[in-house]
Structure 1
Amino acid sequence: MYVYINGEIIDQNLVKISPFDHGFMYGLGLFETFRVDEGHPFLLEDHIHRLKKGLVELNIKWDYDTNKIVSVLDQLLKANGLSHAYIRLNVSAGTGEVGLQTRAYESPTTIIYIKPLAKSHMLEKEAVLLRTRRNTPEGSYRLKSHHYLNNILAKREIGDDSSKEGLFLNEQGFVCEGIVSNIFWIKNRVVYTPDSGTGLLNGITREFVLTLLQKLNIKYEVGYYEKETLIDCDEAFVTNSIQEVVPLIGINGQVLPGGKGSITNKVSDLYQYYKQKKLWSKAEVL
């Protein structure tokens, strides 16, 4: 496969970064993952907006815009012969001296990874409540950063079974998020999802689904919930930008309707409808 790094598209086996890159040394880097389907990067503007906001927090100067990213993606897709792809857009701080730096990073390392991805279709998963607790964010809110040990420990807990997703409780015992997803559940036709104050990563797909619920006139609540509230649900689904809306067939052995859930289906159908519209941002819905 060919990848992009700092202005070049090269064979992935030839990619090199400096051992003095502070993304490697101190974890100062952010990334976005998203789908490209039929050549279109869904909700790309929302991903770039979140990335840029996070880079300001890390004091990393980055001057790419949507047009530049689209141009690079077009070149990458052509070089790899793909029209459906998994994309990871990664920006790390760039090189610096050994030691903690307080001044701005002026020359970040930008890498765009790509791999083949099948056309999207509805998956179903079983959720398991994790013993591992979600750690608190490094700053005032969680960034999609290189700090992934908490997620790795959680993944080791449930193993490599792709049909399962682990669900974090935070340190206060509130339902937080999945290892690589956000969680939604339905009780008496009301949708519930944890507040970002629980320490979750505010996913681009999470925000898009909240927009879809408004469009569907489906009542939803965002708050702090104990695990008993989640397990007592009528249906549930998890979301991320690669797998999209994933119905749950169970949580901790409690059987759920999966893809047969009525509200889950409505959300998934509307998601796919807007995906066919090739949206750049959730702002185009309302």
Structure 2
Amino acid sequence: MASVPVLSKSEATQKMMALTHDNQKNYLAMYSSWLGGIVKSPAFMWVPIDDHLVHRGDGVFEAFKVLNGNYFLLKEHLDRLERSSKAIQMELPMDRNSLVDVIKQVYAAAGPKDVLFRLYVSRGPGGFSTNPYECVASQIYIVATRYQPVVTEKYEKGVRVGRSDVPIKDGWMAKVKSCNYLPNVMMKKEAVDKGFDFTVSFTQEGLLGEGSTENIALVSEDDELLFPSFDHTLQGTTLKRLELLAAELVKSGELVAVREASISMQDIENAKEMMLIGTTLDVLPVVEFAGKAVGAGVVGPVARRCLDLLRKNIASS
């Protein structure tokens, strides 16, 4: 093997600028509290290797979207960020008003009107052990990428979902949106490997959980819109908004109720409809679960109505 060069600062910078991949065309801007500014070149969208976010997954995050200048559910996402940060006993490095101001500046620097944000709060750089007290200070990294909605065909024809073999997150970890996402990664890998669009987890008791980054809900045989208990799933901001909006369907008689429930495989087999809910998905109909048709095997009326209600709410936010 040839000797490995020891790079100078200028040589390393040149190589960083030269190394690219296709997805980078969608990376618009990044704020780093460690750098103290915003960068637009993907070559400089980096995190220190000794930041505990990198080698321990020690941090929390949120993903939210801005469509045509509308910051959808920003307050709710930042509320959850604060809850997650508190749960792992990590202080945010700036107050809410300052954080919102930085987010808006990143949006302005990004350019396009439709942007997907990912906001990471790390324990910070300072060493390579598990000891959080060696970190200099917590950091914030805010990344703006081009918003890429799900293709229209998926909403018209629905998606296929499988049952995951990856163990569900237990206890308080299920309620924290941490940067330790290995189970979620394995669920997505599993879905791709098995030819599903998504997989969803189940508890040890056989109750429905959640997708790798999505909540899931179903329309029962009694015309109730049910979603799994937040005792073992992350409280999705989009799902909580849909819960409020779907009250209109109860008033109109299209649904009997909207509520949390313990959902078994039998409930899934008897369901009239099923849908995935999330920041990037909005409401995505499920027409097949574990190789069997959900209901009639086509996109149902409640899923269509929920998608319409949510998108109207997004547009008016």
> Does the CA-based 8 Å contact 1:236-1:258 persist in structure 2?
no
Matched, 1:110 2:148: no
Q: Deviations over 1:9-65 (max 9, x none)?
A: 112211333222122232211111111100222000000000011111222211545
Read off the aligned partner of 2:59 and give its amino acid letter: G
Matched residue of 2:283: which SS? strand
Shift of 1:132: 2.3
Matched residue of 1:135: which SS? coil
Matched, 1:268 2:298: no
Q: Which has the higher contact order (CA 8 A, sep 6+)?
A: 1
Shift of 1:162: 9.2
Shift of 1:78: 3.3
Picking from 86, 100, 107, the partner of 2:116 is: 86
Cα distance in 2 for partners of 1:26, 1:203 equals 24
Q: TM-score, normalised by structure 1?
A: 0.86
Read off the aligned partner of 1:214 and give its amino acid letter: A
Aligned residue number for residue 236 of structure 2: 203
Aligned residue number for residue 5 of structure 1: 32
Shift of 1:230: 1.1
Shift of 1:118: 4.1
Judged with a 3 Å threshold, the aligned counterparts in structure 2 of structure 1 residues 28 and 16 are, in CA distance, closer, same or farther, namely same
Judged with a 3 Å threshold, the aligned counterparts in structure 2 of structure 1 residues 233 and 153 are, in CA distance, closer, same or farther, namely same
Q: Return 237-246 or 213-222, whichever deviates more.
A: 213-222
Alignment of 1:11-50 (within 5 A): 11-50=41-80
Matched residue of 2:204: which SS? coil
Aligned residue number for residue 282 of structure 1: none
Judged with a 3 Å threshold, the aligned counterparts in structure 2 of structure 1 residues 258 and 40 are, in CA distance, closer, same or farther, namely farther
Cα distance in 1 for partners of 2:297, 2:147 equals 23
Aligned residue number for residue 284 of structure 1: none
Cα distance in 1 for partners of 2:149, 2:207 equals 35
5+ residue gaps, structure 1, are 279-286
Shift of 1:120: 7.0
Shift of 1:232: 1.9
> Does the CA-based 8 Å contact 1:61-1:105 persist in structure 2?
no
Q: TM-score, normalised by structure 2?
A: 0.78
Read off the aligned partner of 1:128 and give its amino acid letter: G
Aligned residue number for residue 240 of structure 1: 278
Q: Return 175-184 or 105-114, whichever deviates more.
A: 105-114
Cα distance in 1 for partners of 2:305, 2:64 equals 22
Judged with a 3 Å threshold, the aligned counterparts in structure 2 of structure 1 residues 34 and 270 are, in CA distance, closer, same or farther, namely same
Cα distance in 1 for partners of 2:313, 2:136 equals 37
Read off the aligned partner of 1:170 and give its amino acid letter: T
Matched residue of 1:146: which SS? coil
Instruction: Give the number of the structure whose alpha-carbon radius of gyration is greater.
Output: 2
Cα distance in 2 for partners of 1:63, 1:259 equals 48
Q: Deviations over 1:76-96 (max 9, x none)?
A: 333332111111111111123
Shift of 1:254: 2.4
Cα distance in 1 for partners of 2:183, 2:128 equals 25
Aligned residue number for residue 186 of structure 2: 153
Aligned residue number for residue 283 of structure 1: none
Matched, 1:136 2:175: no
> Does the CA-based 8 Å contact 1:33-1:241 persist in structure 2?
yes
Q: Return 220-229 or 63-72, whichever deviates more.
A: 63-72
Q: Return 9-18 or 97-106, whichever deviates more.
A: 97-106
Q: RMSD between aligned alpha carbons? A: 2.6
More helix per residue: 1 or 2? 2
Judged with a 3 Å threshold, the aligned counterparts in structure 2 of structure 1 residues 191 and 32 are, in CA distance, closer, same or farther, namely same
> Does the CA-based 8 Å contact 1:37-1:119 persist in structure 2?
no
Equivalent pairs counted in the alignment come to 276
Aligned residue number for residue 51 of structure 1: 81
Read off the aligned partner of 1:154 and give its amino acid letter: M
5+ residue gaps, structure 2, are 1-27
